[in-house]
Amino acid sequence: MPSVNSSVFSSIDYDQETKTLVMTFKHGKEYPIYNFPENVYKEWMAADSLGRYFNDNIKDKY
């Protein structure tokens, strides 16, 4: 999985074919999200803060 520059996540991976997002938190817990929109993934990766974007746009919505 690709590592990311984040104080919250150790890695975030997205599979375009299956539209599956897998995020791994710094504490080691891994969470998959199925049918995750690619455009949201791209916006997230471009965000200044991955943790803030996650809380504002992804958490409790997918």
Q: Does residue 47 sit within a domain?
A: yes
Asked whether residue 36 is domain-assigned, the answer is yes
- Report the domain count for the chain: 1
In a domain, 2, yes or no: no
User: Domain range holding 42?
Assistant: 9-58
Residue 41 is assigned to a structural domain of this protein: yes
Answer whether residue 53 is part of any domain: yes
- Asked if residue 30 belongs to a domain, the reply is yes
Half-sphere exposure of 62 (CA within 13 A, CB side): 21
In 1-62, DSSP assigns E strands to 9-15, 20-25, 30-33
Q: What pLDDT does 1 receive?
A: 58
Confidence of residue 4 (pLDDT cuts 50, 70, 90): confident
How confident is the model over 5-53, as pLDDT tens digits? Answer: 888 999 999 999 999 999 999 999 999 999 999 999 999 999 999 999 9
Single out the residue of 32, 37, 35 nearest to residue 13, CA to CA. Answer: 32
Is 3 among the domain residues? no
Instruction: Give pTM, 2 decimals.
Output: 0.87
Tokens of 60: 């409790």
| Cβ atoms of residues 28 and 14 within 8 Å | no
Q: Is residue 27 part of a domain?
A: yes
